[in-house]
Structure 1
Amino acid sequence: MSEKITPQQLISQQLLQLTQLEALLGTEKEVLQQQNPAALISITSDKNNLLIAIQEIDNAIGQSFEFKQEKLAGNFSTELSDIEACLIRCKKQNQINGLIIHQSQLSVERMKTSLLENHNRSSMTYDSKGKTSGGLSSLGIKA
């Protein structure tokens, strides 16, 4: 026989999971700043698993008649405030991480453009008729 989970346990579990998510988002920020792809893959997996668990608890709370009754009676106001504050911090940290990712993508794009421009400038040569050609590779010379 399984033991029924109380609304208090559900709320406590959700707050714990959100606190873990907040810590994970902080770690994700550090990994993004360090530009460590291997660690980022691991953190992304952990974050996805945690988000699924948070969603499951959220669904259980939403379906709990006991929770609804206790909430109407004024219970859980402190816990719900803590959960809401933690959610706000998580959303803010997630936005910051998104900006870091966006800035990284812009940097990579600028680097790519710069490399292509430099490659095109250095490989441009002229033939005996004054026409441009692709560079040393068209002459059969390998650097």
Structure 2
Amino acid sequence: MSHTIEQLLELQQATLQSLARLLEQEKGAIVSRQSAEIERLAKDKLNLINSIQQQDHLIASHAQRQRLTEEAELTAAVDSIKATAEKCKELNEINGEALQRAQLSFHKLNNLFQQSRGKNQMTYNSEGAAQSIRSLGTNLKA
């Protein structure tokens, strides 16, 4: 089924608005550290981005694409699409930075746990040298 250029522009705008809503949901999932939800939203985001690329290709190869620069109504629609795409790009960058901060925070916390675990397993031998013992108190035969 062949779509009009107007229908393709409306579809592109609707898909970009869906992406913007999804990016807001992703932000909430990142803030609340819901890893399963983040993963699901990432897959949905990829599907939407693929749809946007396909729609963009259909618009670029449409027989009436020259109307996009000739008619004020279509030019305004293209400008709106570009603005929504820019908003999505900004939201995605913000989410990416938040994910990086969360990952850095996780690594710092993990390092603290590793250090803490190492301190609890530290003991001294008969010469007074520190040594780490993993079986402290677990190999008693009494």
Find the aligned partners of 2:132 and 2:116 in 1 and give their Cα distance.
13
- Structure 1 vs Structure 2 CA RMSD: 1.7
Find the aligned partners of 1:101 and 1:73 in 2 and give their Cα distance.
42
Identity within the alignment, %: 27
Amino acid at match of 2:70: A
Q: Is residue 2:78 matched to residue 1:70?
A: no
* Aligned counterpart for 2:106 among listed residues 108, 129, 135: 108
Encode CA deviations 1:88-120: one digit per residue, 9 max, x unaligned: 111111111011101101111110111111112
* Aligned counterpart for 1:11 among listed residues 9, 12, 15: 9
State the 1:141 CA deviation: 4.2
* Aligned counterpart for 1:36 among listed residues 34, 42, 52: 34
Find the aligned partners of 1:49 and 1:10 in 2 and give their Cα distance.
18
Q: Is residue 2:19 matched to residue 1:21?
A: yes
State the 1:71 CA deviation: 2.0
Gaps of 5+ in 2: none
Find the aligned partners of 1:28 and 1:72 in 2 and give their Cα distance.
35
SS of structure 2 residue aligned to 1:137:
coil
State the 1:66 CA deviation: 1.0
Moved more, 18-27 or 40-49: 40-49
Encode CA deviations 1:27-66: one digit per residue, 9 max, x unaligned: 1101111111222222112111111111110111111131
Q: How many residues align?
A: 139
Moved more, 129-138 or 86-95: 129-138
Amino acid at match of 1:66: Q
Encode CA deviations 1:2-26: one digit per residue, 9 max, x unaligned: x421111111110010000000000
Runs of 4+ with deviation above 3 angstroms: 138-142
State the 1:135 CA deviation: 2.7
Find the aligned partners of 2:136 and 2:28 in 1 and give their Cα distance.
46
State the 1:136 CA deviation: 5.4
SS of structure 2 residue aligned to 1:66:
coil
* Aligned counterpart for 2:48 among listed residues 50, 64, 84: 50
SS of structure 1 residue aligned to 2:20:
helix
> Does the 8 A contact of 1:32 with 1:40 survive in 2?
yes
Q: State TM-score, norm by structure 2.
A: 0.89
